[in-house]
Amino acid sequence: MKPTIARNTVLLAFCLVLTALLLASDVEAGKKKKKKHKKKPAPVTAPQPETTTGLSAPSAAAREADRHLEAYDTQSARAALDAPGSGQTAEESDAWTTTARGRILEQSRDYAAAAIELRRAADLDPRNPAPTLFLGDTYAYAGKRSSANDAYAQAEARARGLLDAKSDDPQALYYLGVTQQRQKRFADAAATLEKARSLRPGDSAILYQLGATRFYQERFQAAFDLLSAALDKNSGIAYAYYYRGLAAAKLDRKDILFNDLDRFVKMAPDAPEASTAKQILASFG
C-alpha cells in the first residue's frame, strides 16, 4: 500500500501546482482575480474550415498566413501577406486578409492596433463571424472583458445568420461552436462542434476546438483523444499541444505532458500561456 500512497501524494501535489499556475495565468491575462471558474480557452489557432457558406474564399496569401498563425509563427505569417505578388495591400485588403493582419498584431500583443484592424475587417464583410470572433479574443487578452463578450455575441449572431441560410453548413457550425465555447456555454459548444464534426470528420480545426471544449468540461480522456486526432491531421497547431499536455497531466501521463508543453513553448514562446507552460515544466525539471 505504501507505494500507492506515495504515488497518490505526488499526483495530488502535481494537480495542486497545475491549478495554482493556471489561476496565475488568468491573472496575467488580465482577468479578475476573484474568478474561480474555468478560464477562457485560448484564441482560435487552427485554420477555419473550407468556405461553404457563400462567404468569399480567403486568398492564397491569407490561407498561408493562417497556417503560420496556427503554429504561432507570427513573423512568417506577416511575410506571407507582405510578399510580392501576395495580393492586396493593407489598405486594399478584403475581410480575410485584414483579419489575418489583425491576428498578427494580436499575437504580437499590440492589442489596440489589432482591435482597429479586426473592426475594419468586420466592417468589410458584415456576414463573416471570423473578424468579430478574433476581436473578442483580442479584447479578452487585453483584459477588456465586457468588450470581449460583446464581440463574441456579435460573432455568434453572424454565425447564426449563416445557419439560417444553410442549417447544416460545417463552417457556420464551427464558428457557432467556438463562440459558444468562448462564452463558457460548453455543453452547447460541444453539441454544435459534434454536429460540425459529423459533417466533416477529418477537419483538424473542428477536432481541435472540440478537444479544447472537452478539456473545459473536465472530460480529460475525450479531450486527449480529440486533440491527438487533431494533431495527427495537422501537427502544426500550437495550442493543441498545450491543451493535450494539460489533459495528459490530469490522466497522469507525465511523458506526454512534458513533451507537449515543451513543444508548445518552443513553437509559441511569446504566447500568453507560455509562461504557465514554462512554470509547469520548471516545477518538475
Name the nearest CA neighbour of 172 among 152, 192, 202. 192
Check residue 40 and give its pLDDT.
54
pLDDT at 262: 97
Three-class secondary structure of residue 238 per DSSP: helix
pLDDT higher at 41 or 147? 147
Instruction: Give the HSE-up count for residue 92: Cα atoms under 13 Å, Cβ half-sphere.
Output: 7
Percentage of the chain exceeding pLDDT 70: 78
**Sequence-ordered list of residues with C-beta below 8 angstroms from that of 81, at least 6 positions apart, any chain:** 61, 62, 65, 87, 97, 100, 101, 104
Rounded to whole angstroms, the Cα distance separating 199 from 29 reads 35
Confidence band for 28, pLDDT divided at 50, 70 and 90: very low
55: confidence class by pLDDT, cuts 50, 70, 90 = confident
pLDDT-wise least confident of 85-89, 141-145, 175-179: 85-89
Cell 497545475 -> residue? 18
Whole-angstrom CA distances from 137 to 20, 29, 102 are: 23, 11, 11
DSSP 106: H
pLDDT digits (tens, 9 = 90+) for 159-173: 999 999 999 999 999
Burial of 215 from C-beta contacts in 10 A (0-12 / 13-18 / 19+): buried
Mean of pLDDT values over 126-130: 97
Tell me which residue has cell 495550442.
239
pLDDT value at 137 more than 80: yes
Give pLDDT, residue 93.
73
